[in-house]
């Protein structure tokens, strides 16, 4: 499965433990596309949520719907929920993607969330 940074995928986290993302949810691929071999079984993602109460303002990026990202409503990229997820959880690989500037901002917020900035 070939995934590219900035691409939006649909992930099935429905068997997650309490307090983890536990539903079918879109997510943004944030890992460098050339970082791992295509056969590597995991991918680094940031989940998208349409509930603004899940978004910590300084650690999330508001994503407005566009034809390119395919979002039906305003979403929030939850950088503080960055996770390595098994590719087996990805049920749909879309052609939708966030803009390059949005991907850069999500990555900056991940760094901030883990203490790099």
Indicate which CATH number applies to the domain containing 28. 2.30.30.110
Beta strands 75-78 and 60-63 are antiparallel
% pLDDT > 90, the chain:
82
Three-state DSSP string of 16-27: CCCCCCCCEEEE
In this prediction the pTM is 0.93
The Cα 3–Cα 92 span in angstroms is 11
What is the extent of the structural domain holding 106?
Answer: 7-113
In a domain, 78, yes or no: yes
In a domain, 1, yes or no: no
In a domain, 45, yes or no: yes
In a domain, 42, yes or no: yes
12-22 pLDDT, tens digit per residue, is 998 877 766 77
Question: Total domain count for the chain?
Answer: 1
- The lowest-confidence range among 13-17, 44-48, 54-58 is 13-17
What's the average model confidence in pLDDT over 72-97? 96
The H or E element that residue 29 is part of is: strand 24-29
């Amino acid at each position: 499965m070939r995934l590219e940074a900035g691409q939006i995928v649909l992930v099935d986290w429905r068997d997650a433990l309490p307090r983890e993302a536990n539903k079918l949810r879109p997510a943004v691929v944030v890992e460098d596309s050339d970082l791992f071999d295509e056969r590597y079984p995991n991918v680094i993602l940031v989940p998208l949520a349409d509930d603004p109460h899940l978004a910590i303002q300084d650690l999330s990026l508001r994503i407005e719907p566009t034809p390119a990202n395919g979002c039906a409503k305003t979403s929030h990229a939850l950088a503080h929920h960055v996770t390595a997820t098994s590719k087996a959880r990805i049920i749909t690989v879309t052609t939708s993607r966030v803009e390059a500037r949005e991907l850069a901002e999500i990555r900056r917020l991940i760094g901030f969330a883990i203490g790099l900035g």
